[in-house]
Amino acid sequence: MTEDGRRLKFLNVVDEHTRECVALDVGRHFKAEDVIAVLARQLKARGAPENIRSDNGPEFIARAVRGWLEQEGIATAYIAPGAPWENALIETFNGKLRDELLNREVFETMAEARHLAAYLRDYNHHRPHSSLDYMSPAAYAALCASSGAASRRLRRHRAVTQQPVRLS
């Protein structure tokens, strides 16, 4: 929430293979066009994943998003309603984001809430993950990029996870 009591939503995009948070957008609401814009920026920067895993929110299942993903050759992997365990990686990320940042901060304005780069840098470059042999996501991604075989494996298995965090 901002100081004026208005709700914030966060659109998080996490690479399931490297565990990197590649996008963290904040807004009052997200429409299909917003989701497409965030994903298009990531496609340009990182290349296309094999699939996108998301919840079944209206901003993700909209015809515009489905059509754009099909046009880009990206499969969808929606989780079943009421089954957050099917998307455990983003649920874990959202919980850490909430505990480590959002529950501690009161944002004066939307502009202030958009300055989350420090959290992303810390999460991607300094936080070890047990599933990555206690490497940070950025260090693991660099290792994959430096190894041809790992790089091919990364490209083949990478899937992006997205889900908004709703704060009330």
* Tens-place pLDDT, residues 107-153: 888 888 888 778 888 999 999 998 898 999 999 989 988 875 444 44
> How many angstroms separate the Cα of 8 from the Cα of each of 5, 12, 78, 107?
9, 13, 23, 10
Closest CA to 101 of 88, 112, 116, 90: 116
Does residue 154 have a pLDDT over 50? no
Q: Are 25 and 37 in contact (CB under 8 A)?
A: no
pLDDT score of 157: 43
pLDDT score of 148: 59
The residue type found at 59 is: E
Q: Are 38 and 13 in contact (CB under 8 A)?
A: yes
Class of domain 9-159: alpha beta
- Which residues 6+ apart lie within 8 Å of 40 measured at CB? 68
Closest CA to 78 of 92, 93, 57, 96: 57
Strand, coil or helix: what is 49?
A: coil
Question: What residues pair up with 14 in beta bridges, in sequence order?
Answer: 21, 161
**For the chain, which residues make up each domain, given as ranges?**
9-159
Share of the chain residues as helix, strand and coil, in percent rounded to the nearest 5: 50, 20, 30
- The Cα–Cα gap between 14 and 17 comes to 9
As a whole number, the mean pLDDT across the chain is 82
Q: Could you report the per-residue pLDDT of 27-60, keeping only the tens digit for each? A: 898 899 999 999 999 999 888 888 888 887 888 8
